[in-house]
Amino acid sequence: MHSFPAPALELVEKMRLAAKDDPARAIAFQGAPGANSHRAVMEYAPDALPLPCFSFAEALDAVKEGRAGCAMIPIENSQAGRVADIHFLLPESGLSIVGEYFMPIHHALMALGDGPFEAAYSHVHALGQSRHYLAERNIVPLSHADTAGAAAYVKELGDPAIAAIAPAIAADLYDLKIIDRRVEDTEDNTTRFVVLAKQALDPASLNGDQAMTTFVFEVNNVPAALYKALGCFATNGVNMTKLESYQKGASFAATMFYSDIVGAPGDPAVDRALEELAFHTKEVRMLGSYRSARERG
């Protein structure tokens, strides 16, 4: 699949034309209209012009090329963990994180018919977040590029025995029946989104607000290098709320670490920690400082 299903294309074109007329107000997102990322854009910035993109890379390119003022990208989910590809795309995008948003995720089962259903299409994360619900009903999970795209695809298929799992707004957009609401397996299913723009926020503008800073780093290839790197934050009292590793290239000899810390450059403790980190790393790349949307610690 390299494009949106036919029922989504008309909506996509309308939204792209609106964004073209006022790109500064446009927020690019991955997915078809009605996706969770679409919903997140409208909740985060109700006056924005949502710009649907087929892939994460396309959403980031829309910002780099000036077709959107920023992009809103899911980075992690409380059930499914980190979103694939994002840790590779963000550092190479040249964009900066300027905000974050936490959104409760609620899935609905929707279809043309009333059931029973043989299978349900959705994004792989939504299928994983609803796996017990599907298994109990002997509904086969089938992967699609995104949740709302799955709803549009079910509309296009025209098969009443095939359902989709998507946000409830997708049923309205694609004229499907909502068979069941809240089909996610846990009530606290939450996705964290980050907002990316060409221009980074000046850390000084965050004074008085709880800030987060995100960066990636590669440690020196010596024993206990990671231990020493983490000690920079521990000894300076800087709270590290996230640390994830991923491979750099195909050699499996260079590991990058993606990290979130509480605070921002300009805070003496953060400045000391980052200065010390430079001694234990080959590379440190800042991805942005921004206001925290949720209390940490």
Helices (H), the chain: 6-21, 36-44, 56-64, 86-93, 124-129, 131-136, 147-157, 168-174, 225-235, 268-277
Indicate whether 72 pLDDT > 60: yes
Q: Which fold has domain 108-181?
A: D-Maltodextrin-Binding Protein; domain 2 (3.40.190)
Mean pLDDT of 146-174: 96
Instruction: Kindly name the residue from 147, 191, 213, 281 that is annotated as catalytic.
Output: 191
Instruction: Kindly name the residue from 4, 56, 117, 193 that is annotated as catalytic.
Output: 193
Select the CATH number that applies to the domain covering 203-291 from these four: 1.10.10.10, 3.30.70.260, 1.10.760.10, 3.20.20.70. Answer: 3.30.70.260
Query: Is 255 one of the annotated active-site residues of the chain?
Result: no
Q: What confidence score (pLDDT) does residue 1 get?
A: 40
The class level of CATH for 7-104+190-197 reads alpha beta
Mean pLDDT of 136-149: 95
CB 87 within 8 A of CB 246: yes
Is 110 in a helix, a strand, or coil? strand
Sequence ranges of the domains in the chain: 7-104+190-197, 108-181, 203-291
Domains 7-104+190-197 and 108-181 share a fold: yes
CA proximity to 66, closest of 198, 200, 193:
198
Query: Is 257 one of the annotated active-site residues of the chain?
Result: no
Helices (H), 69-108: 86-93
At residue 84 the predicted structure's pLDDT band, cuts being 50, 70 and 90, is: low
pTM of the model: 0.91
pLDDT digits (tens, 9 = 90+) for 181-227: 999 988 888 999 999 999 999 999 998 889 999 999 999 888 898 99
pLDDT digits (tens, 9 = 90+) for 234-262: 999 999 999 998 877 666 666 889 999 99
Mean pLDDT of 115-133: 93
In the numeric block, the tokens 């989104």 are attached to: 193
Q: What confidence score (pLDDT) does residue 284 get?
A: 95
At residue 79 the predicted structure's pLDDT band, cuts being 50, 70 and 90, is: confident
In the numeric block, the tokens 């590290």 are attached to: 240
What is the sign of the dihedral through the CA atoms of 144, 148, 153 and 155? Answer: positive
